[in-house]
Amino acid sequence: MLLIRRFEEALIAHNPVGHLSIGQEGAIVGACMALRDDDYVTGTHRSHGHPIGKGADINPLMAEVFGKKTGICKGLGGSMHLTDTSRGLIGESAIVGGGFPIATGAGLSIQVRETDQVSLCFFGDGAANQGTFSESINMAAIWKLPVIYFCENNGYAVTTSVEKSHGQPDIARRADGYGIPGIIVDGQDAEAVHAVTQEAVDRARAGEGPTLIEAKTYRFDEHSNRLAIPIEYRSKEEIEYHRNERDPISLYRATLLSRDLLADVERIEQEVAKTIDAAVEFARESPEPDMEDVWDCMFSNPINFPAYEGEL
Amino acid sequence: MRNSVQKLSYLQAIIEAEREEMQRDENVILMGEDIAVYGAQSLVEEFGEKRMRNTPISENSFVGVGVGAALTGLRPIVDLTIASFCYLASDQIINQAAKLRFMTGAQLKVPLVVRTSTFYNNRTAAQHADRPYPLFMNTPGLKVLAPATASDAKGLLKAAIRDDDPVIFFEDINLWGKKEDVSTDVDLLVPIGKAAVKRSGSDLTIVSVAGCLPHALAAAEVLAGEGINAEVIDLRTIVPMDKETILTSVAKTGRLVIVDNSHKVGSVASEIAAVVSEEAFESLRKPIQRVATPQVHIPYNGALEKRLFASKDRILEAVRVII
């Protein structure tokens, strides 16, 4: 959680692009900790945290957000597409709702290949209003696919609140419509999130089908670091309340201290700071990608598609 | 069974390609709406429901399910039935299938085939009769195939299934019933990106796209009776286009008619005309002619509909302009 927080704070300081997850780390990490390295994950436009939660190396992630050749996607994907396939990530969709079918397809693949992996689809409250939500969950339900649909409900689709955009503001209750379990959990409580996700993962591995989990969480920053929002769509008091009282990292730190783990907490805090400093240094000093990379990454099997010849 | 042939219709050849590839590779699966109905009942019996997925009516998502399955080890064939449904699935085809390899810095590959049929000339009216090749021609990252014979349908579909990139495979329902001798060689592939010279000639070049081929050949036959030798090229692959075969032919003939049932503006024919103008302008002795569908929707009335598509007479009319 702290690694995600510091990663994004470093972006604010050094490279102000992207959709930040600050405030949502408890939901992200609680869910990822229930997964194995070979389990699949699809993410969203707000997906710096998902590869970090899955244990990806930090340097290539930071370099990717900086747009560098050493980035995990060679600087071609960027902040909204931090895919690290070595950790089971199979794409983050910047088209809201784009990940539902893909995560579902990974579930189908697992079932056909008869492995015991699972597939977890991160999505936001806004994505629940796309048709792909309904279409995909329905398919996973009828075929009993090993998929966990994990909603980070941060309360707002850009500026539009859940109350103003959802006939049923408890997204997990929609699970009834597909005949699958739907579970609501406090997204600021990482251990609670982990427990419900683990249960859903166990069900999926046992062939019992998909689960819809809704973690109630909160986005401390704006929709995008680059977007100046001219209207006040949520009150300063609301934001301050969540920052001061509902920060998943502060809450979990207090839990750990109550378990007499201060020394471990301080050691982790120091390690995280070093990791992030090193990653920023690595990203800054890395070379820019070349136009050849743009051509080279188009096809697995290029036919009548010559390599870049320097015309641009 | 090598080197022998069997008489198959265009549609039977497609089913045969699927059967052979599903027998050859257990990671090949087939998905789509009512897949058992369109000739594939025997495949359901042979391969079972695990690999033959009858999907709900959720075109965008079941194509996306195919993408997700392709990313994770399968080689799905998604049957999108009618090409007008491509618009529903275009988000997953264009934003996901075509872009995922690129956006991940080539970490992922997407060995997906989307089969879809152009349902025109069949009194299905404007929402079922589209030929949307140009939409996908303008999307980098895809391969777009449009075979015109049973042998090419089989060989190209097999090549598509074995290819590691996403392929849109357009089949023309006006050809579904046309039979010819098709090789039974399970490893005989038709190469993606190669046009076929169906008839050689030196007086003009007719490039045919998809189901226009029978009309182009019929026109060439009439012209031959008049002492005019037309070279007929079946494009077969729309993307990546075989420019070389077209340019070689135009260099020889100096005259070009392109026959394409897309709507004329921004059509496959437009692209071919642009390529020839840019790269072989000096070879042209007369202006390029496009026989394409005007910018109107397809009417239900069968007699009206027929006049909007390629025919022997329309091709001959275009030829007369430049001969």
Given a cut of 90, is residue B37 above it in pLDDT? no
Distance CA A158, CA A35 (A): 29
Are residues B178 and B138 part of one domain?
A: yes
Please say whether the beta carbons of B195 and B245 come within 8 A: yes
Are residues B229 and B144 part of one domain?
A: no
Mean pLDDT in residue range B53-79: 97
Query: Which of A72, A102, A142 shows the shortest C-beta gap to B68?
Result: A102
Q: Is residue B49 part of a domain?
A: yes
What pLDDT is stored for residue B8 in this prediction? 97
**Does the distance separating the beta carbons of B242 and A139 come in below 8 Å?**
no
Confidence of residue B35 (pLDDT cuts 50, 70, 90): confident
Torsion of CA B303, B308, B312, B313, to 10 degrees: 80
Are residues B173 and B212 part of one domain?
A: no
Q: How far is CA A38 from the centre of its chain?
A: 16
Helix (H) / strand (E) element for B289: namely strand B289-293
ipTM given for this complex: 0.96
One CATH from 3.80.30.20, 3.30.460.80, 3.40.50.970, 3.40.50.2300 for A2-285: 3.40.50.970
**Does the distance separating the beta carbons of A300 and B64 come in below 8 Å?**
no
Please say whether the beta carbons of B255 and B285 come within 8 A: yes
Are residues B22 and B162 part of one domain?
A: yes
Give contacts of B 106-135 with A, CB under 8 A. Answer: 106-111
- Residue from B125, B112, B183, B187 nearest B152 by CA: B183
Share of residues in chain B with pLDDT > 90 (%): 96
Are residues B156 and B270 part of one domain?
A: no
Q: Is residue B107 part of a domain?
A: yes
Distance CA A279, CA B145 (A): 45
Distance CA A77, CA A260 (A): 42
| Any B CB within 8 A of A297 CB | yes
Are residues B174 and B223 part of one domain?
A: no
The answer, as to whether pTM is greater than 0.95, is yes
Query: Which of B53, B63, B71 shows the shortest C-beta gap to A90?
Result: B71
What's chain B's Rg over C-alpha atoms?
A: 19
What pLDDT is stored for residue A225 in this prediction? 78
Running DSSP on this structure, what letter comes out for residue A70?
T
Given a cut of 80, is residue B155 above it in pLDDT? yes
**Does the distance separating the beta carbons of B101 and A298 come in below 8 Å?**
yes
Are residues B129 and B106 part of one domain?
A: yes
Question: What CATH code is carried by the domain that includes residue B207?
Answer: 3.40.50.920
Are residues B295 and B273 part of one domain?
A: yes
Catalytic residues of B: 128
Confidence of residue B237 (pLDDT cuts 50, 70, 90): very high
Are residues B248 and B179 part of one domain?
A: no
Mean pLDDT of chain A: 96
CA of B73: which chain A residue's CA is closest? A109
How confident is the model over A107-155, as pLDDT tens digits?
A: 999 999 999 999 999 999 999 999 999 999 999 999 999 999 999 999 9
Domain residues for the domain of B123 are 5-183
Given a cut of 90, is residue B181 above it in pLDDT? yes
Mean pLDDT in residue range A22-32: 98
Given a cut of 90, is residue A312 above it in pLDDT? no
Q: Locate the domains of chain A by residue range.
A: 2-285
Please say whether the beta carbons of B267 and B290 come within 8 A: yes
Q: How far is CA A50 from CA A40, A44, A82, A159, in A?
A: 11, 9, 9, 23
Residue B240: cis peptide before it, omega within 30 degrees of 0: yes
Give contacts of A 119-178 with B, CB under 8 A. Answer: 119, 131-132, 135-136, 138-139, 142-143
How confident is the model over A177-190, as pLDDT tens digits?
A: 999 999 999 999 99
Query: Which of A81, A112, A301 shows the shortest C-beta gap to B163?
Result: A301
Q: Is residue B104 part of a domain?
A: yes
| Any A CB within 8 A of B141 CB | yes
- For chain B, where are the alpha helices, taking DSSP H only? 10-24, 41-51, 59-71, 86-90, 100-103, 133-137, 150-162, 213-225, 243-253, 268-280, 302-307, 312-322
Question: What CATH code is carried by the domain that includes residue B89?
Answer: 3.40.50.970
Distance CA A22, CA A6 (A): 9
Given a cut of 80, is residue A226 above it in pLDDT? no
Give the residue from B135, B153, B183 where a domain finishes. B183
How confident is the model over A266-302, as pLDDT tens digits?
A: 999 999 999 999 999 999 999 999 999 999 999 999 9
Given a cut of 80, is residue A5 above it in pLDDT? yes
Side-chain half-sphere CA neighbours of A91 within 13 A: 35
Number of domains composing chain B: 2
Confidence of residue B139 (pLDDT cuts 50, 70, 90): very high
Query: Which of B72, B91, B164 shows the shortest C-beta gap to A98?
Result: B91
What pLDDT is stored for residue B2 in this prediction? 55
| Any B CB within 8 A of A76 CB | yes
Are residues B228 and B142 part of one domain?
A: no
Are residues B202 and B178 part of one domain?
A: no
